[in-house]
Amino acid sequence: MDDYLSKPVRPEDVRAVVERWASTAALPKMPEANAPAATIIAAAAGDADSPADEIPPVDMERLIDFTDGNQDNLRELVTLYINQTSEQVEQLGVAVQTNQTMEVRRLAHSCAGASATCGMARIVAPLRELEMQGNDGKLTGADALMKKVIHEFGLIRKCLEPYTIRSTSLASHSSK
């Protein structure tokens, strides 16, 4: 990591640093400019052998690796991701509806970076498209993209639900 966090380390500080660096760390390598056109198109479209529906909503292996396999860290990260991303997706929907292009860009960028870092690959593409459209100041088809983001985030929540339930049930057991 090319950054620094001072103690005490707070989850929101870690998230900010991860978001700052994730967009560069998670970018796929693009072919060189002189590569054949078919190679460039395939790279831009993603792996043709892995349609988006075949990719799981959450790469649990990456998420567990990211938390060093520590269950407490996993529950904390899942809770942080769900809570902050829920709020950001809601704000993103409002920004799309009210045509606030720079807010769409900012929120989509933040959500995409955190999602890519944590292994939520399927939601990243529509978020990146919203980010680009916000940057360009033209939200063409943003409603459909927003529906895709909401759908994918619902699948992520469903996939991560057992981890949040477990943390709730552990908390209730420890208070007895």
pLDDT in tens, 63-122: 888 888 888 899 999 999 999 999 999 999 999 999 999 999 999 999 999 999 899 999
Judged against a pLDDT cut of 90, whether residue 50 lies above it is answered with no
Q: Is the distance from CB of 39 to CB of 30 less than 8 angstroms?
A: no
| Selected residue with higher pLDDT from 12 and 126 | 126
Q: What is the pLDDT of residue 45?
A: 35
Q: Chain-wide mean pLDDT for the chain?
A: 78
pLDDT of 1 above 80? no
Q: Which of 65, 155, 169 is nearest to 118 (CA)?
A: 65
Band the pLDDT of 175: cuts 50, 70, 90. very low
| Residue partners of 121: CB distance under 8 A and separation at least 6 | 55, 59, 115
- Return the pLDDT at 165: 52
What span, in angstroms and rounded, lies between the C-alpha atoms of 76 and 127?
24
17 and 5 Cβ atoms separated by less than 8 Å: yes
Is residue 51 scored above 60 in pLDDT?
A: no
| H-helix or E-strand spanning residue 107 | helix 101-118
> Sign of the CA dihedral 58, 60, 62, 66?
positive
Residue pointed to by tokens 């980010």 = 131
The domains of the chain, with CATH numbers, are 11-174 (1.20.120.160)
The pLDDT, as a whole number, for residue 12 is: 72
